[in-house]
A and B are shown apart, each in its own frame.
Chain A
Amino acid sequence: AQSVSQHNHHVILSEAASLELGCNYSYGGTVNLFWYVQYPGQHLQLLLKYFSGDPLVKGIKGFEAEFIKSKFSFNLRKPSVQWSDTAEYFCAVTSFSGGYNKLIFGAGTRLAVHP
C-alpha cells in the first residue's frame, strides 16, 4: 500500500532561517505530489504540486520543492522563513489504481517560527 512519511513532526525556527521539510513516499507507479499548508484554525491550502517535467517546483509564498525519483522524495524548502509561515505542512501523493485517484497524506509537520 502506498504511504507518505514526513520526517519531522515539529520544527522550531527563528525568522530568516532556512527551512527544509522531508517527505518520502512509497509507491512504484506514476504519482502526483503535493504540499499543502494549514494555518491555525483554517482548512488545507495547496502550496505547490508536481506532476511531471522539471523536478524543481516553485509554489506560492517563496516555497519550492524538489522531486528526486530515485529517492522517492519530495522535500519542501524555503530560503528564509517568516513568522507568518507558522502552520502545519502536509505532504501528499496521489496514485492511480483501478482508474481511481486516491490522495494520501503524511502525518504533517508543525512549524513554529519565532520572531
Chain B
Amino acid sequence: NAGVTQTPKFQVLKTGQSMTLQCAQDMNHNSMYWYRQDPGMGLRLIYYSASEGTTDKGEVPNGYNVSRLNKREFSLRLESAAPSQTSVYFCASSDPGRGQTEAFFGQGTRLTVV
C-alpha cells in the first residue's frame, strides 16, 4: 500500500524557472493538501482540495497554483520560482466525509531555488 506518493524527492531550480510537484494517493480520499515546511514555522497550508474539481487557497498561496487532475492526483505548480520558495513541500490526503480527518503524508519534496 503506497499511500501518498510525491515526486520528485529533490529539486534545484534557478530563480524564474517553473516546475510542477506531483502528488498521488491510492486511498480513495476526497481531500488533498499541499503544505510547505520551514524551520520554526511548522507546516503552512498552501492550497487544499476538498474534493475532485474543487480547490481553495490556504495560508500561503501566493506564487503557487494547483490542479486537482482527478480524485487521485493533486499537483502544485511554481510558475516563476523565487528563493523564498526554498522549502520542503508535503502533500497529504484525508477523507473527512468518511470520518477519516487525520491526514496521511507523502515523503516530501526538498526544493532549493538559487
Contacts and interface: CB of A to CB of B under 8 A. Distances in A.
Interface of A: 6, 9, 32, 34, 42-46, 49, 51, 90, 92, 94, 96, 99-108
Contacts of A46: 102
A101 B100 CA distance: 10
23 contacts: A6-B42, A9-B40, A32-B102, A44-B43, A44-B103, A49-B102, A90-B43, A92-B103, A94-B96, A100-B31, A100-B56, A101-B31, A101-B50, A101-B96, A103-B92, A103-B103, A104-B45, A105-B35, A105-B42, A106-B42, A107-B40, A107-B41, A108-B42
Contact of B102 (A9, A34, A42, A99): A34
Interface stretch (B12-20, B61-69, B75-83, B105-113): B105-113
A90 B99 CA distance: 21
Nearest to A4: B42
Contacts, number: 60
B74 interface: no
Interface core residue of A34, A43, A108 (most chain B CB under 10 Å): A43
A43 B40 contact: no
Chain A: interface secondary structure?
Answer: strand
A42 B105 CA distance: 10
Given A99-B50, A101-B50, A44 B90 contact: yes
Contacts of A45: 105
